[in-house]
Amino acid sequence: MDIGLFGQYLANGVMLGTMYALVAVGFTLFFGVLDVIKFSHGDVLMLGSFTGFTVYIGLLSLGIENPWVMIAAILIVSIVTTAMLGAVIARYLVLPLKSAPPLNILLITLMLGTAIREAVRLFYPDGSNPKAFPALLPTASVDLGGFSLRADSVILVAAGVAVIIGLNLVINRTRLGLAIRAVAQDEETAKIMGINYTMIVLVTFAIGSGAAAFAGIMNGLYYNEVNFGMGLLLGLIGFCAAIIGGLGNIYGAILGGFLFAALQTIGAVALPFASAYKDVFAFGVVIALMAWKPTGLIAERSSDRV
**Cβ partners under 8 Å of residue 262, min gap 6:** 13, 17
Q: Which domains does the chain have, with CATH numbers?
A: 3-126+150-304 (1.10.3470)
Rounded distance between C-alpha atoms, residue 211 and residue 64, angstroms: 26
Q: Is 264 helix (H, G, I), strand (E, B) or coil?
A: helix
Contacts 24+ apart (CB under 8 A), 108-115: 109/36, 109/37, 109/38, 109/39, 109/40, 109/41, 110/39, 110/40, 112/40, 112/43, 113/39, 113/40, 113/41, 113/42, 113/43, 113/44, 113/231, 113/235, 114/43
Global pTM value: 0.92
Each residue's pLDDT, cut to its tens digit, for the chain (306 residues) gives: 556 566 777 888 899 999 999 999 999 999 988 888 899 999 999 999 999 999 999 999 999 999 999 999 999 999 999 999 999 999 999 999 988 888 898 999 999 999 999 999 999 999 999 999 999 998 888 776 667 778 888 999 999 999 999 999 999 899 999 999 899 888 888 888 899 999 999 999 999 999 999 999 999 999 999 999 999 999 999 999 999 998 888 899 999 999 999 998 888 777 766 567 888 889 999 999 988 888 888 865 544 556
